[in-house]
Amino acid sequence: MNLALFDLDNTLLACDSDYEWGQFLVVRGVLERGEYEAQNAAFYEQYKAGTLDIHEFLGFALRPLAEHAPEDLTRLHAEFMDARIRPAMGAPARALVRRHLDAGDLCAVVTATNSFVTGPIAREFGVPNLVATEPERVGGRFTGRVAGTPCFREGKIERVDDWLAAQGRKLGDFASSAFYSDSHNDLPLLELVTQPVAVDPDEKLAAEARRRGWSVISLR
């Protein structure tokens, strides 16, 4: 069995689901446009630049989950899937996932975006495992805080290691381990797998992939 790990935002998806979730809530009138939209855009620019403080961002991104009942969030997410996500799930990305599943590989989406937003998306792609930032819940409701280590940069390595350890495995057990990502923020995990693949990469990752001779593909 081989291992196939997929980043989600701007990799399998032709959008950033975290950013789009915030924008969707603004359009639906759940969040005020002015301040939230500006902050959402600013954090997204920091992410692309590699300067994002993940804990500061999560304090912002998880707050709407704490302010609404779970049943309301579930209803909104179903609308979000139709409005923003399914149109960004291209046939090449679906085919890539299907090839790995058909080969019998152990597959997981590994994403910094929280599991409330990304769980239904991973299931829509048919990926059976999700390694994501976990929002804290108490009494069935979100608190607005993060539970455990955010699945971001080096945190992705820790979270993948923990996920594999729960199955009695480790990364080195796999003769072939692939990780698909668009972002230079994922260099720590890309450096550890046997098959790092840059997918429609940002400028920093594209340069690094050229320097190291990594595969570069497009799913657009």
Whether residue 116 contacts residue 77, with contact meaning beta carbons closer than 8 Å, is answered with yes
Whether residue 164 contacts residue 146, with contact meaning beta carbons closer than 8 Å, is answered with no
Residue 69, CA distances (Å) to 64, 74, 75, 77, 141 in order: 10, 9, 10, 12, 7
The DSSP letter of residue 83 is I
What is the rounded end-to-end Cα distance, in angstroms, of the chain?
28
Query: Among 90, 103, 94, 100, which Cα is nearest to 5's?
Result: 100
Query: Among 133, 181, 183, which Cα is nearest to 159's?
Result: 133
Active-site residue 9, yes or no?
yes
Whether residue 150 contacts residue 56, with contact meaning beta carbons closer than 8 Å, is answered with no
Which entry of 7, 105, 182, 202 is annotated as an active-site residue? 7
Using CA atoms, how far apart are residues 79 and 63, in angstroms rounded to an integer? 19
Which entry of 9, 16, 105, 186 is annotated as an active-site residue? 9
Q: Annotated catalytic sites, by residue? A: 7, 9
